[in-house]
Amino acid sequence: MIFQIAKNELRNMFCSPIAWLVLFIFAVQTGIEFTGSMAMEVRDSVMGVGLYRVTANCYSGIRGLFSSLQGSLFLYVPLLTMGLMSRERSSGSIKLLYSSPVSNSSIILGKYISLLIYNLILICILLIYVFLGLCIIENVDFWLPFSGLVGLYLIVCTYAAIGLYMSSITSYQVVAALGTLAVLAILNYLPSLGGNIEVVQEITYWFSISGKANQMIDGLICSEDLFYFFIVIGLFLSLSVLKLHSERKVISKSRCIVTCIGILTFVLLLEYVCTRPACMWYCDVTQDKSRTLSKGSQEVMKALDGGLTITTYVNLLDDHRWQGLPANRVYDVRGFRQFTRFKPEIQMRYVYYYDQTDNPILDKLYPNLSMEERARELARVEDLDFDKFLSPEEIREKIDLTSEGNRFVRLLERENGRKTFLRIYNDGQANPGEREIAAALKRLTIVPPKVGFLTGHDERSIRQVGEWDYSAFAANIGFRYSLVNIGFDVEEVDLRDTIPGDIHVLVIADLKKPLTDDEQEYLQRYVDKGGNLFILATATRQELLNPVTRSLGVYFEPGILVQNHKQHQQDLILGEITSEAIHFSPEFFSNKASGKCITMPRAVAINCNGQSDFRITPILETSAKGCWNEQETIDFVNQVATLGPGEQEKSYPLMVMLDREVGSKKQYILVVGCADCISNGELTRTRNDVNSNNYSLIMESFRVLGDGVFPVDVSRPAPVDNAIKIGETGLIVLKWFALFILPLGIVMGGVWVWRRRRK
């Protein structure tokens, strides 16, 4: 009987012009979206711009077909569902159904199955574009679009269950359609209604239908999303059956209310169970597993046995407080979803307080208010309970956060007592990414390598914020790429005594005073024991470092390297990555492939012809054309250097790596002919027509010097779906099919059914 009802409903549906109109509009919309996405790929291909992840670009992401459709599917469903039960009521045929031996559940299920079949027809239209993509895209990410199809089908079926329920409570089709739109709007905006009450926020977030298919569209199938759709569909079908049951039999309102409460309670119980991390399972269908932690991060998670607590300290006076406030905690917790997938027992705690911190915005808004008065005013404006925020005295009894500037920070703590901080950063992204989180977690499993910066000779400082100092990449807690945020410990080292035994890497940057004999002896002992070195020189002072480097088999040549440019001074060198460097660094390989360079002002050449126990590998070099070692010109603002006698235009080494075996350990020494390339000013400087990536030099240098421990390797296999098989002519044919032939075929199908019905 259920399938007989479904069959009758489908007959009624396709005998009505509405069903064909919906199919026609849907086909036109999908055609426009798909050809628009493919047109961008064809344009880039014709212009010679490298394509990247074509499958994801066409189906998911910001401009993908499925992502675009997800936001408009709710407009189609009310047109289909508004008459399912309303028509029975307005025509009086509902009484025939009630008098027949058909159960209420059979009526609802029959009508709902008809919608499932119709929705499947809609998905078949999308399936056409999936097959077209499989034919057009080279090395297509095969399962990604099918995952998206599942997500879209589930979401439109959920809309259908809601529409069926609204149709069952009114006899007016327009009211049913508007009611469906109203319920869908409420379900989309539920999270904003949760306020600052944690339990309510969690419930409203889970009930919200907004973005529930996003993960599947992106290639990750999660049990939480699947159960959400099944539970919500079951909820509204149950309410529809209950509505028919209350009309068919005399049931008191109180009993109906109790039954509804029972259904909702059962739904909330299922929601609680399904959202527990230990109860979730995942399936990443992307070919490069881009929706899963990288292998490096997974190794970190395997080593992280025992309990782990992440305590987030939220300062009400900090500019980043909004991330951890109760209204946003659900989203904040989901930021760690990839990690809780591999360690479900992670506990998340939040501590709220107020204390003095650097926030210029509040200084301008409330110049005359005290710290406590500012906190109270913010709590009032943001509708927060001020009593839940600890005072400065109370928070300091628990933990001292002055070293973190009382900023928004997380404390990661294992059961064995090991702790480390995970920070947010002063950039557009702010939140830590996979690399930063994995680095913080790895610090809990090992003794972090320590980087020492030599002091006492006016070297580059890791504490000062001058243009040529090293505070940004070394110890700036707000800088994502600083050593303290990618896993290392840092400290200053004075050579008045022997180098501490826990120093793993010693950085010697731009000496302005020569080393004493005792200091050279201490340094030589460190090198003989296998300690790693990072030596950086700059023009006019390179001779002060030569006593150190000559014993290694290399030295800095006198003079300054110059390079002819159209827009820049000649003392700016664009360092090119060597072919040898790309073999041990995927990042260098990527940089060289994309034409990126390392900007090196005031650089000096490195001579590698000395005797050495080390194997010497060039990492960076100058261009072979337009570069030479200038011996005379020093004022590049007012003068133009020219190639003089004895000066040779050729490629010069800018950075070399020295390595050798010392006992059971491999020793690495990096020698760089430019101390400015990783300075505060150079890391933040941009130049016209210069595609540079000096951050990668820091990362890859300390990856080598840190023996590969940090930064954590979060690299993945390069995507292979980076080309398409059609050009401009093929795009024209595709547009004709998508925008004319397919919609016209649907119109002809509707006309054929209409003519058969007339006969």
Q: Are residues 314 and 278 in the same domain?
A: no
Which residues in 447-554 belong to E strands, given as ranges? 450-455, 489-494, 503-509, 532-536
Q: Does 710 reside within a domain?
A: no
The structure tokens listed for 411 are: 């404390």
Q: Are residues 556 and 664 in the same domain?
A: yes
User: Checking DSSP bridges between strand 532-536 and strand 665-672, what pairing results, if any?
Assistant: parallel
pLDDT at 507 > cutoff 80: yes
Give the pLDDT mean for 547-574.
90
Kind and range of the H or E element at 598?
A: strand 598-601
* Rounded Cα–Cα distance for residues 295 and 281 (Å): 18
Q: Does 462 reside within a domain?
A: yes
Q: Are residues 150 and 117 in the same domain?
A: yes
Torsion of CA 295, 300, 305, 308, to 10 degrees: -120
CA 223 vs CA 73, 288, 615: distances in Å: 23, 21, 53
611 vs 462 pLDDT, higher one: 462
For residue range 430-454, list pLDDT tens digits in order.
Answer: 999 999 999 999 999 999 999 999 9
Q: Are residues 236 and 147 in the same domain?
A: yes
What is the count of structural domains for the chain? 3
Q: Does 723 reside within a domain?
A: no
* Rounded Cα–Cα distance for residues 294 and 437 (Å): 12
For residue range 496-506, list pLDDT tens digits in order.
Answer: 888 998 999 99
Q: What is the pLDDT of residue 652?
A: 94
Q: Are residues 254 and 332 in the same domain?
A: no
Q: Are residues 43 and 160 in the same domain?
A: yes
User: Checking DSSP bridges between strand 419-423 and strand 347-353, what pairing results, if any?
Assistant: unpaired
Q: What is the pLDDT of residue 143?
A: 95
* Rounded Cα–Cα distance for residues 241 and 251 (Å): 13
Give me the phi and psi of 296, to 5 degrees please. Answer: -60, -45
Q: Does 711 reside within a domain?
A: no
Q: Are residues 742 and 693 in the same domain?
A: no
- Nearest 5°: the CA angle 410, 412, 413 is 140
Last residue of a domain, which of 437, 470, 500?
Answer: 437
Q: Does 718 reside within a domain?
A: no
Q: Are residues 466 and 391 in the same domain?
A: no
Would you call 92 exposed, middle or buried from its count of C-beta atoms within 10 A (0-12, 13-18, 19+)? exposed
Q: Does 109 reside within a domain?
A: yes
Kind and range of the H or E element at 200?
A: helix 198-207
Q: What is the DSSP string of 160-190?
A: HHHHHHHHHT-S-HHHHHHHHHHHHHHHHHG
For residue range 324-351, list pLDDT tens digits in order.
Answer: 998 888 889 999 999 999 999 999 999 9
3-state secondary structure of 294: coil
Give the pLDDT mean for 452-475.
93
Q: Are residues 262 and 367 in the same domain?
A: no
pLDDT at 33 > cutoff 80: yes
Q: What is the pLDDT of residue 81?
A: 87
User: Checking DSSP bridges between strand 282-284 and strand 220-222, what pairing results, if any?
Assistant: antiparallel
pLDDT at 585 > cutoff 70: yes
What's the CATH code of the domain at 622?
Answer: 3.40.50
What is the domain extent for residue 355?
295-437
Residue 676 in contact with residue 602, Cβ under 8 Å?
A: yes
Q: What is the pLDDT of residue 137?
A: 95
For residue range 477-495, list pLDDT tens digits in order.
Answer: 999 999 999 999 999 999 8
Which of the residue ranges 150-159, 558-567, 589-598 would you say has the lowest mean pLDDT? Answer: 589-598
Last residue of a domain, which of 393, 412, 437?
Answer: 437
Residue 626 in contact with residue 606, Cβ under 8 Å?
A: no
Residue 691 in contact with residue 709, Cβ under 8 Å?
A: no
pTM, to two decimals? 0.89
Q: Are residues 372 and 486 in the same domain?
A: no
Q: Does 672 reside within a domain?
A: yes
Which of the residue ranges 196-200, 283-287, 654-658 would you say has the lowest mean pLDDT? Answer: 196-200
* Rounded Cα–Cα distance for residues 450 and 459 (Å): 19
Q: Does 532 reside within a domain?
A: yes
pLDDT at 615 > cutoff 80: yes
For residue range 89-112, list pLDDT tens digits in order.
Answer: 776 676 676 667 778 888 899 999
Q: Are residues 8 and 119 in the same domain?
A: yes
Residue 701 in contact with residue 505, Cβ under 8 Å?
A: no
Q: What is the pLDDT of residue 98?
A: 67
Band of the pLDDT at 712, cuts 50, 70, 90? very high
CA 500 vs CA 520, 548, 663: distances in Å: 15, 19, 20
pLDDT at 63 > cutoff 80: yes
Q: What is the pLDDT of residue 71?
A: 86
Q: Are residues 88 and 184 in the same domain?
A: yes
Q: What is the DSSP string of 700-759?
A: HHHHHHTTT-SS-----PPP----BS--HHHHHHHHHIIIIIHHHHHHHHHHHHHHHHH-
Last residue of a domain, which of 382, 403, 437?
Answer: 437
Nearest residue to 34 via CA among 65, 73, 68: 65
